[in-house]
Amino acid sequence: MPHGDLPALLALTCRAVMDQIHDHLAADGFADVRPAHGFAFQFLSHRDGATAVELADHLGVTKQAAAQLVDDLEKRGYVERHPHPADRRSRMVSLTARGWQCIDRFMTWSADVESRWATLIGAGQLDQLRGGLLEFVRDASRERQVTLRPVW
């Protein structure tokens, strides 16, 4: 393989894995989840809630786009809004039990992918790959904050 194609291979791998996991999620009763929802779930799963403005900032979208995403997720039963503890003008968004169930299924299928990869290339090589990717993220983080969000 030619040098310089590693970023494309990483992107293709990510896409293939996400497609597989979303197929499994659909079979598990989460057919209404889109890949874009996962970026919001990931952000919300690491905090006790967030405002739409915080979510918009994390996702790199407008406040209006984040509010629409929250509306959609709320209608689907994945998030709920509640009063902000310190700002009466703001509302907090947090995951519901259904949102956490979806994350749990996602994590189960992600672990299954890693297990298959360990079978394909060996557990030691998989650990080396993980370590190398972490170093790449650390290196990129020296220049700017690296967050998991859509880049398209």
Q: What is the mean pLDDT of the chain?
A: 90
Domains of the chain from N-terminus onward:
1-31+97-143 (no CATH), 32-95 (1.10.10.10)
Single-letter amino acid code for the residue at 51: T
Judged by DSSP in three states, 43 sits in helix
3-state secondary structure of 87: coil
Q: Measuring CA to CA, which residue among 106, 81, 83 is closest to residue 96? A: 81
Tokens of 80: 């709920």
Asked whether the beta carbons of 70 and 93 are under 8 A apart, the reply is yes
Contact 35, 17 (CB under 8 A): no
pLDDT band at 82 (very low <50, low <70, confident <90, very high): very high
pTM: 0.85
